Amino acid sequence: MSGYFRTSYLQDTALLDTRAQKAWFGAFAIALCTYPFLAGPLWLDLGNQVLLASIGAVALMLLTGYAGQISLGHAGLLAAGAFTTGILSKEFGASPWLTLPASAAVGAVLGLIFGLPSLRLRGLYLAVSTLALHFIVIFLGGEYETRRGFSTGIVIEPPIGSARGWYFALLAAAAITLLIALNLLRSRTGRAWRAIHGREAVAEALGISVQRAKLSAFVVSSSLTALAGCLFAYYRGFVSAEAFSLYLTIQYVAMIIIGGMGSILGAVLGTVFVVLFPYAIDGGMALVGLSERLSSVVFAVNYSAFGLVMILFLVFEPQGLVGLWRRVQNWFLLWPFKQGRLLK
């Protein structure tokens, strides 16, 4: 044991409890703030992408990892936020201060709609109904594009010009999302979510309104996702229905699977992994000298490598990166005594 025991409720609910944790957190925060000054343009863009995707991944983690509601409609919700932003700023010239809350509101309404099937359906059938809703949202977005004559997509003016400015904006957004998620999870709502994940009948017997918990999970997760979609639209400066394919949903689901279900840290680790993965593959191919020969099919290489990695995680490491991380931690904590196996 580490020798740290909690002696009050205040300590029990603290986000950072030991001094060492606080010190590490401080160091990490400083590292995050100095990163944009050290990184080149490519790495800065990667950092931005990670921060942007982490908002959506944390939102999905709340819904699937904690409340246990399977959703395959994540890209549809991102698209809803992005299209709300695109339409409002194109048609009415709305500023981000209007489009952000509007996206969140649209996300909340859609979350209610996506969540309604969850009151009757579970597991597979729920996943399928959210998948169906995804196709309908994308269809409506595409329909708007063609009707208004933006057949290739809606171009919008990004409010922030520099990549470094974006970095700090996205960092703030990601930090706020993280804080919202952590605070929700240690409150009544979060406990209710975990309870319905465990077993609905027992949760009901404990006085938790299952319907309310499910719908609140969908609404919170969807409005956060739509916010991420809004930021995505501004960051890219471009909204198009093609960007929100089923593959995007799969990437988000992969983030929480690879990161580790039921852990916010997992969502963040998974995001880093999934966002950086294609670049790592590119780098690897350049290293082996294959990139010349395979340049026309790079996306196919990415596809197959991504599928393979996902299968490997599902089969060999269902706990995800967080499970790996915890085993490494325990290995060091217990050293030099009972040594578990680092890799299963």
Partner 1 sequence: MQLAVNIAVLASIYALICCGYVLIYRVSRVLSLAHGELMMLGAYGLYTTASLFTGHPLLALVAAAALALIAGVAVYLAMMWRMTGESVLAAVLATIALGILLRGAMILVFGTQTQYPLRDLGWSNASVPVFAARISAAGLALVLATATVYAGLFTFLRWTRWGIRMRAAGQHPLLAAQRGIGLHGVYALAWGLATFTGGMAGMLIACDAGLEGTLVIIGLKAFPAALVGGLDSLLGALIGSIVVAAAEVLLIHHVDPLLSDVVPFAVLLAMLAVRPWGLFGTREELDRV
Residues near partner 1 (CB under 8 A): 64, 70, 117, 119-125, 127-129, 131-133, 135-136, 139, 142-143, 146, 200, 210, 246-247, 250, 253-254, 257, 297, 299-308, 310-311, 314-315, 318
Which positions ≥6 away from 163 have C-beta within 8 Å? Answer: 36, 41, 44, 45, 48
Query: What 3-state DSSP class applies to 187?
Result: coil
- Nearer CB in complex with partner 1: 72/174: 72
**How far is 56 from 103, CA to CA, in rounded Å?**
14
Q: How far is the CB of 22 from partner 1 (least distance, A)?
A: 36
CA–CA separation, 132 vs 70, rounded Å? 13
Nearest distance in Å: CB 13, partner 1? 30
Distance (Å, whole) CA 217 – CA 54: 18
CB closer to partner 1 out of 180 and 305: 305
Nearest Cα neighbor of 232 from 22, 33, 57 is 57
Cβ distance to partner 1 smaller for residue 99 or 129:
129
- Minimum CB separation from partner 1 for residue 112, in Å? 14
Cα–Cα distances in Å, from 214 out to 34, 69, 118, 200, 256?
A: 40, 8, 7, 10, 19
Smallest Cα–Cα separation from 74: which of 64, 84, 66?
64
Q: Give the closest residue to 70 by CA, choosing from 204, 247, 256.
A: 256
Closer residue to partner 1, CB minimum distance, 89 or 225? 225
Q: Least distance (Å) from partner 1 to the CB of residue 293?
A: 11
Nearest to partner 1 of 80, 88 (CB atom): 80
| Of residues 163 and 305, the one with the C-beta less far from partner 1 | 305
Closest distance to partner 1 from the beta carbon of 146 (Å): 7
CB of 305 to partner 1, least distance (A): 7
Q: Is the bond into 336 cis (omega within 30 degrees of 0)?
A: yes
Cβ closer to partner 1: 100 or 126?
126
| Closest CB 167 distance from partner 1, rounded Å | 30
- Which amino acid, 252? Y
